[in-house]
Amino acid sequence: MSSKVYLKVRRVAQDLVERAREVSVADIHEAMGPQGRSALMGARMRPIREGQPKIAGPAVTAQCWPGDNLMMHRALYLAQPGDVLVVVCQAELSGAQWGDMAGRYAKQKGLAGVVVQGCVRDVDQLREIGLPVWSTHIWPIHPDKSGHGLVNAPVVCEGALVRPGDLIVADSDAVVCVPRDGAAGVLDAAQARMHKEDAGAERVRAGTSVWELSGAAESYARLAGVEEIDAAFDDGALAAR
């Protein structure tokens, strides 16, 4: 076996990171069109704390050998303030990838957050530390620190392709990866969606029904084969008694 560790990352521009903090993962996902489905990490990827702050930042990546988190530590050492560390261990239950000591160091270093396909542990302490963490599993199984892997190379994390420097955005809904080169256009579209949603919220407050506002009423009117019956489904049964 051998490892590849890339020491440099071409990061998404900081102004785009700041813009990404203003929009939700849902808006970004919708703004990406069909590509948005593959950009979303799977539903198993969840925040370890309810109400955890939303994060955005450039990806720094690690792919770890089963039962081992050595390459996570190397990636963490190379990461810069504002980065989001994305860690992948395909043998997810073979060894914890993240814990309180790494969390304390990452917090002190100024990372935006951590995303782990695999196990994290020391969750009570991590919640106290306050660095936002998303993971697919919580389990304290011991990891070794001697295995090969990848650092700052493309990885697939919970179904989403993540290239070093891509824009990672995570909130209570999900985690999404926006390709670095297309991030500006995606954020333009996401912000437009956000403003449209804000306008819609004002209309709801003014009394417009979501049935009309969402377009459901119009779609329903076009739907062939709908029979509306001005009765309860069991009225006939009651009458027969």
CA dihedral for 157, 161, 163, 165, sign (positive or negative):
negative
Contact (CB, 8 A) for 109 and 29: no
Residue 95 has pLDDT above 70, yes or no: yes
Cα first-last separation, the chain: 77
When pLDDT is averaged across residues 84-92 and rounded to a whole number, the result is 98
Question: What global pTM score does this model have?
Answer: 0.89
Task: Please give the share of the chain, as a percent, with pLDDT higher than 90.
Answer: 83
47-76 residue pLDDT tens: 999 999 999 999 999 999 999 999 999 999
Q: Would you place residue 241 in the very low, low, confident or very high pLDDT band (cuts 50, 70, 90)?
A: low
Q: Would you place residue 210 in the very low, low, confident or very high pLDDT band (cuts 50, 70, 90)?
A: confident
Q: Would you place residue 238 in the very low, low, confident or very high pLDDT band (cuts 50, 70, 90)?
A: low
Domain ranges for the chain? 4-193
- The type of residue at 168 is I
Contact (CB, 8 A) for 86 and 59: yes
Average pLDDT score over the chain: 94
- pLDDT score at 181: 95
Residue 200 has pLDDT above 70, yes or no: no
- Coil, strand or helix at 160: strand
Pick the CATH number of 4-193 from 3.10.180.10, 3.40.630.30, 3.50.30.40, 3.10.129.10: 3.50.30.40
Question: In which residue are the tokens 């919708």 written?
Answer: 30
